[in-house]
Amino acid sequence: MRGPGAAMQRFLGPLLCLCALRLPAGGGAAARGLDVASYRERVRAMFYHAYEHYLESAFPYDELRPLTCDGQDTWGSFSLTLIDALDTLLILGNVSEFQRVVNVLQDGVDFDIDVNASVFETNIRVVGGLLSAHLLSRKAGLEVEAGWPCSGPLLRMAEEAARKLLPAFQTPTGMPYGTVNLLHGVNPGETPVTCTAGIGTFIVEFATLSHLTGDPVFEDVARKALKALWKNRSDIGLVGNHIDVVTAKWVAQDAGIGAGVDSYFEYLVKGAILLQDKELMSMFLEYNKAIKNYTKFDDWYLWVQMYKGTVSMPVFQSLEAYWPGLQSLIGDVDNAMRTFLNYYTVWKQFGGLPEFYNIPQGYTVDKREGYPLRPELIESAMYLYRATRDPTLLELGRDAVESIEKISKVDCGFATIKDLRDHRLDNRMESFFLAETIKYLYLLFDPDNFIHNDGSDFDVVVTPFGECVLSAGGYIFNTEAHPIDPAALHCCRKRKQEQWEVEDLMREFYSRKKSKKFTLKRAPDRGEGENAKDPEDASSEKPGEKRNSKKSSHSLLSCPSQSFNSKLAVLGQVFLDNT
């Protein structure tokens, strides 16, 4: 029987070879007669139709109400659509609007308010959106602070928002409450029951914050929550849907890959890649075995009782459509494609994915017939197209554009589809439509976007802690599709700085004592790649200055020769070792 280590190498090998390989643009699109450029421009037009009407009719509210052309606050009064759409602006190439919105957010968003906010949603949308925008600021032409990416106004905003969430983690188990008051902390009467995803979806944003700011508290609470879920899995290796964060008793014992659980599994994989963490990947691979053993039937995934493995709900939920994309990230492309094609048949049946679909009956579930313009199937198509270039995946993108424009487009934006059977609409446009759905559609049709960089282009940035490589690709999308540059996590080494400060104090001490002269050499940061140099040699360069950045003549390490850590590092850094 293979252990987790062997499985990890087996799954990660194909993933990282695919990420390091630059596939020819266009792929099989021409064979099917699909005009990729035309659909890319239609997606761009969809974005601006929604975005401009949000600005005209809804800002500064969180979301647009497209049927009445006004706005509403939904997740905390943060001008949420503006935060969620910010990095999409840059992916579409709109540098000037990105810069304008950054200034608007700095002047207008206040987290010191008496509002009950979802810990989960505030993290993925607000903290994730601000972190992504912070790390993309230089690419967008903003003048960054000395010390960037280890400092900056958007980073400070992200940190402020995340600190407002920390009281939720003060439980006996380390698993957070689902809601927190941004001014007063957790309300005394707050329910201790939280969904699994609401506990296990913090490691990407919180670890990024810890690495950039030097404060370990964020990553520490995120890891403690992840491990608490792992500790409380059932004897057959499954987790339920809702748990009491005080007593660690499972309240809802349905196990599956969909709503209430989904992004927990996603963040184990993405956290493993972002942090080069074997333990997180081992946890996911153990879960993956149990999921295949107990929930998978004919390339569908059902809901089962977490302790017995018996089927409790034979339904497909639209939120589960992220799973093929996640499978592709661990290299399980064949299984991913088979499951994707199952989900695509549902899309073809209705022109969208209903929230619940009864698999045996082949039809929607009562009161779950709606499609709120979710991104998950498009997200999986984007990942799988990068891996396979199968033109079927572009056809899904085409169908999504046609369906959304035909059914959902109204004068003031795009409206949630309340019922896919008769195309009735609801008066809401969720912020994830601009953050995720449009972004993944655009990236599906834009093979040369900077997000798809394979490491051949990169920037070397000088920080107060030495040099680091940025913009080399391998972006990790959080569950709201906000891209995080994993190389940035290696730019802000506070511990190294503190070591240097001690050495400087020692120099001063010995010079005052007029002792024997000696030199303490600051060792280069060996873990940061072959280009890392002694910061003393960089003293003549300004922090944030770009050096010798474009088109390295060196080749990437080949996938078969890389160790686990080096393989993961290739996703976010460029290594110049040709051995």
Say which residues have a Cβ less than 8 Å from residue 280's Cβ, sequence separation at least 6: 203, 226, 268, 269, 271, 272
Report residue 129 as tokens.
């959106």
Nearest of 391, 392, 376, 395 to residue 435 by alpha carbon: 376
Q: Identify each DSSP E strand in 347-472 by its residue range.
A: 356-358, 363-364, 409-410, 413-414, 416-419, 424-426, 459-463, 466-470
Q: What is the CB neighbour count within 10 angstroms for residue 201?
A: 31
Q: Identify each DSSP E strand in 335-453 by its residue range.
A: 356-358, 363-364, 409-410, 413-414, 416-419, 424-426
Catalytic residue among 376, 379, 430, 446: 376
- Catalytic site residue 503? no
- Catalytic site residue 121? yes
- Catalytic site residue 376? yes
Catalytic residue among 159, 266, 355, 369: 355
Catalytic residue among 262, 369, 379, 485: 262
CA 309, CA 125: separation in Å to the nearest integer? 34
- Catalytic site residue 528? no
6: left (phi over 0), alpha (psi -120 to 50) or beta: alpha
CA 358, CA 258: separation in Å to the nearest integer? 14
Distances (CA, A) of 505 to 286, 509, 520: 49, 6, 11
Q: Is 248 helix (H, G, I), strand (E, B) or coil?
A: coil
CA 494, CA 150: separation in Å to the nearest integer? 10
Nearest of 462, 464, 448, 453 to residue 486 by alpha carbon: 453
Q: What is the CB neighbour count within 10 angstroms for residue 316?
A: 26
Q: Is 176 helix (H, G, I), strand (E, B) or coil?
A: coil
Q: What is the CB neighbour count within 10 angstroms for residue 138?
A: 19
**479 marked among binding-site residues:** yes
Q: Can you say which residues are annotated as belonging to the binding site?
A: 479
Q: Can you say which residues are annotated as belonging to the binding site for Ca(2+)?
A: 479
Active-site residue set: 121, 262, 355, 376
